[in-house]
Structure 1
Amino acid sequence: MSAESPSDNPTPIRRGKGLRLSVTSSHDDAPTSESGDPTLRRGQGLRLSIHDQASAPQPATLLRELLGAPQVVELSHGPLAYRAAGHGPPLVLLHGWAASSRYWLTTLADLSSDFRVYAPDLPGFGDSPALPEPATVARQAQVVTEFADALGLTTFDINGHSYGAAVAASLAAAQPLRVKRLVMTSLGAIGNEIERLIFALARAPLDLSLRVGYPWLNLIAPWVELWRPFATALLCIPPLPQLMAARFIANGLREKWMLQEGIVDLTKMDLRAHLMAVASVGDPQVFDALQSAPQPALLIGGVGDQIMPPDSLQAAAQIMRQARLALIDQCGHIPMIEQPEAYHAALRSFLLE
C-alpha cells in the first residue's frame, strides 16, 4: 500500500511487547450537530491534517456532515448503512456490541486526511437491519466482504473494536490477500487452554438454542421494536447514562455528547444481533482466526479496561503471527472516544509505517 510516511519515526513494538501511550486529559465537550460553529482546540481528538486546505472540509464541518444520516448500500441480504470520509488508501472500521458507525465519528474525521475511511453499521446495529439468519462472527465477516466488493475495495486495512475486532480477525484470516493490515481495538484472547475448553463446552447448548429459536426471534422482533422509544427515553434520564458508561469508561467521558449517542445505539441494537454478539464470546473460530491471520497486526487497548484487560490483549499478541501491542494510559474499553489523540497517533504509526 502506498501512503505518505509520518514525519516522526514510529517506535517499533516487538511481538509480545507493549508500547505505553501516556495522555493528558481534557474535559471540554466535542462539537455537536447543533447550529453554530464550535471552537476546536488542539488536542480535542478532532485534529485534521489537511493537505489541500482550500478544497478539504474543516473538522467542524466534516463532523457535522458525519453526524447526519448515513449512506446506504444494497447487499444480497438487504441494505447496509455506512459512513465514509477522506481520500487515500481504504480503511474499514468495525464497531463493537451495542454500537454503530457513530462511535467512529472522531476517527473518521481525524484519519480522513490520510485514508478513505469507511465505517459500516453491522447488520442489527445502528441503521442496518438484522440478518434473517443467525449472524455469527463468520457471517458478519462475509457481510463486510460483500460491503467491500460493493464499494470496489480490492484491498484495504481493517480496524475492529471489541466484537467488531472479532469480525475483523475472522475476515483477515479468510481474506489474507485483501486485508493488508489488521488492527484489533479492545479485544483480547483467553490464554488458558482449560478456560477455552470450558467456553467451548458452554457454547454448544447456547449455539443450538439460538439456531433452533432464531425463527421465533424473527417473529417477536417487530414487537420488541415498539418498545425502543420508551427504552431510549428511560435510559437517557440522568444518572442512568453515566452509571451505564462507568464500567466501560476508565477516567470519565471527555466527549459527553457521546453519552446520548451511545444510549441511542444501545436501544437500536436488534435483539437477534445482541444475542449473537453475546454468543460470540469464547468462539473457537475467533481463536483460530487469531492464530491463522497472516497480516501485520496491532492490538491496542486501555490500561484501565475492565472488559478486556491488558493481560487478555497480551495473550492474543502471543498467539498471533505478527502482533504488536499498544496500551493507552487513563483509558478503558473505548479508546477512540476516551483518548482519541493517543489512539489515532498509534493507528497512524502502525498504518503509515
Structure 2
Amino acid sequence: MAVPTMDTLSLGKSAPRCVSITTKIILHSILNPLLKIQWFAFLFSFIDAILAVYFRTICKLSSCTVVMDDEQTSMHFWAPKRRDPRKPNLLMIHGYGGDSKWQFMYQAGPLSQSFNLYAPDLVFFGKSYSTRPDRTTAFQAKCVAQGMEQLGVGRYSVYSISYGGYVAYSMAEMNPESVEKMVIVSSGIALTEEQKAEHLGKLEKDVVDLLVPQKAEDLRLLLNLSIHKYDRFKGYPDIFLQGFIDALGQRNRKEKKELIEHLMAKKPDDNLSIIPQETLLVWGDSDKVFPLVFGQQLQRHLGSKAKLKILKDTGHASNMESAHLLNDCMKEFLLSKSYFSKEN
C-alpha cells in the first residue's frame, strides 16, 4: 500500500477548500446583482409605504376606494379623515410618473393646512383599475367626478399637473356646477397638430417609452427632461433607477401605455372649448416637456378668466423642484375672492 506523502496530503486538504472558494466567487458574481436589484426594489416599496403613513398622519388623509356605477371600475382616493367646513375643497389630479402619493409628496402636507384635500389615483395608477376598454381622458374625468360625488363633495376647485391637466379640463367642461376654480400646471392642452408633431420629433425617445419606462436609461432621460435645477439622481447607478421601475412601474404597464397612445393619436380639438372657471396657469420658465410657449398659448385661448404665473429657474416638475413656490401661488389664487382684480 502506498504511503501518503506530504504533497498528497496537502492536495487532499486544499482541493475542497479551492472548490469552496471558487463556488463562493461564482455564486457571488451571479447573486450579487440580483440581491442589489431586490434591495433597491424593496427600498422603493418601503418608501411608498412611508409615504402612505405620511399621508395618514401628517396630512390627516384616509385611504378609500370608490366603485363606479359601471361596477367595472374602482378608483382609489386619499380624502380627509374629517372634513373641515371652514376649509375649501381641493381636488388634486396627478400626471404620469407615479400615483398621487409620489406626485404630491411635497405639497400635500402644506396644502392640507388650508384645504380639504382629495387626491385620486387615476385609472391604472396606484390602486385604481378598470376592466373597461375606454382609454380617454374624458373617461378618467367621469370617474374622478363620480368619485367626488360619491364622497359627498358637491363643490371643489381642481389642481392638475401635466396629463392630469387634460383630465381636469374635461371635468371643468362636463361639471361646471361642481368645479369652482382651476389650477393647471404644465399641460399641453392647447397644442395644435403641427406643434405636437414638431415637439414629439425633438424627443430622443418614443414618448410612450419615456412616460412608461422599462429601462433605467429611459427613466433617467425622463428625469432630466422634467427637472431643471439639478439632477437628483445624478451619480446614482442604473440599478437604483431600475429598482424604482421594478417596485412601482410594473403594475398596469400595458394599460398606461394605451392611455398615452390614445392621447397621442387623438387629433387636437380645433374648437377647444373655453371653460367658464377662473383659471390659474403655472409654468416653469425652463419646461422641456411642455415649453412655456404652450402655457402662453393656453392663456390666450382662455382669455380674461385666465392668468399665467411663471416660476423662474423651474422645469416641468414644479411640484417637485419648486413645490413651495407653487403652493404659495395656488393658495393666493384659490383663497382669494378678488384675485383677478389684483395685479399679479
**Quick one: structure 1 residues 274 and 191, their matched pair in 2 at CA, closer, same or farther if it must change by over 3 Å?**
closer
Classify the secondary structure of the residue corresponding to 1:158: strand
Q: Which structure 2 residues correspond to residues 127-206 of structure 1 after superposition, within 5 A?
A: 127-190=127-190, 195=194
**Quick one: structure 1 residues 262 and 312, their matched pair in 2 at CA, closer, same or farther if it must change by over 3 Å?**
farther
Q: Which structure 2 residues correspond to residues 12-51 of structure 1 after superposition, within 5 A?
A: none
Name 2:79's counterpart in structure 1. 84
| 1:89 counterpart letter in structure 2 | P
Structure 1 CA distance, aligned partners of 2:91 and 2:74?
Answer: 18
Structure 2: stretches of 5+ with no match in the other structure: 1-46, 199-211, 337-344
Structure 1: stretches of 5+ with no match in the other structure: 1-31, 36-56, 200-227
Name 2:328's counterpart in structure 1. 345
Name 1:204's counterpart in structure 2. none
Name 1:277's counterpart in structure 2. 260
For the 8 Å contact 2:166–2:189, the answer to whether it is kept is: no
| 1:94 counterpart letter in structure 2 | I
How many residues matched?
A: 263
How far did residue 330 of structure 1 move?
A: 2.0
Q: What is the alpha-carbon root mean square deviation over aligned residues?
A: 3.7
| 2:194 counterpart letter in structure 1 | E
Structure with more of its chain in helix, by fraction: 2
How far did residue 287 of structure 1 move?
A: 6.3
**Quick one: structure 1 residues 324 and 157, their matched pair in 2 at CA, closer, same or farther if it must change by over 3 Å?**
same
Considering only CA atoms, is the larger Rg found in Structure 1 or Structure 2?
A: 2
For the 8 Å contact 2:185–2:283, the answer to whether it is kept is: yes
How far did residue 303 of structure 1 move?
A: 1.1
Name 2:275's counterpart in structure 1. 293
For the 8 Å contact 2:187–2:290, the answer to whether it is kept is: yes
**Quick one: structure 1 residues 270 and 314, their matched pair in 2 at CA, closer, same or farther if it must change by over 3 Å?**
same
Structure having greater relative contact order (Cα 8 Å, sep ≥ 6)? 1
How far did residue 169 of structure 1 move?
A: 0.5
Structure 2 CA distance, aligned partners of 1:336 and 1:198?
Answer: 27
Q: What TM-score does the superposition give when structure 2 sets the normalisation length? A: 0.66
Q: Which structure 2 residues correspond to residues 208-287 of structure 1 after superposition, within 5 A?
A: 235=216, 241-252=219-230, 263=245, 264-281=247-264, 283=266
**Quick one: structure 1 residues 175 and 58, their matched pair in 2 at CA, closer, same or farther if it must change by over 3 Å?**
closer
For residues 100-152 of structure 1, the C-alpha deviation after alignment (integer angstroms, 9 at most, x for no partner) is 11211222211101111111011111221144222201111111111111111
**Quick one: structure 1 residues 161 and 260, their matched pair in 2 at CA, closer, same or farther if it must change by over 3 Å?**
farther
**Quick one: structure 1 residues 114 and 134, their matched pair in 2 at CA, closer, same or farther if it must change by over 3 Å?**
same
Name 1:74's counterpart in structure 2. 67
Structure 2 CA distance, aligned partners of 1:323 and 1:331?
Answer: 21
For the 8 Å contact 1:130–1:270, the answer to whether it is kept is: no
